[in-house]
Amino acid sequence: GQNIDQPTEMTATEGAIVQINCTYQTSGFNGLFWYQQHAGEAPTFLSYNVLDGLEEKGRFSSFLSRSKGYSYLLLKELQMKDSASYLCAVMDSNYQLIWGAGTKLIIKP
């Protein structure tokens, strides 16, 4: 079956760095997405990786290893507003998104 795994919850300190991991097993692969979702709001697109390697976008970076079925989202210089759920999703061979359950990130002062 298809499966996306990511930690349920993580806690980090303001100003620090946090890495949120995502492992996947899907039928085919057409890219991996990371989304940020604040409580009660729709997800916001953060990144899209389809090739191996690191994509950097400001304070956020996303890494992909297709051979390992692994990705991570790296958040630097954490701010209180980064407290949110972070969703990992993989687009399978049918171009459908398979979703992880999300990682709730709690930022402490």
Q: Which of 44, 65, 79, 93 binds other proteins (CB under 8 A)?
A: 44
Asked if 37 and 87 touch (Cβ cutoff 8 Å), the reply is: yes
Q: Tokens at residue 47, please? A: 């990144």
Helices H / strands E in the chain, number of each: 0, 11
Question: Quick check: 95 binds other proteins (CB under 8 A)?
Answer: yes
**87 vs 107 by CB, closer to other proteins:** 87
Q: Which stretch binds other proteins (CB under 8 A): 11-19, 39-47, 57-65, 67-75?
A: 39-47
Would you give the DSSP letter of residue 6?
Answer: -
Q: Which residue has the tokens 């400001």?
A: 58
Give the interface with other proteins as residue ranges (CB under 8 A): 30-31, 33, 40-45, 48, 87, 91, 95-97, 99-102
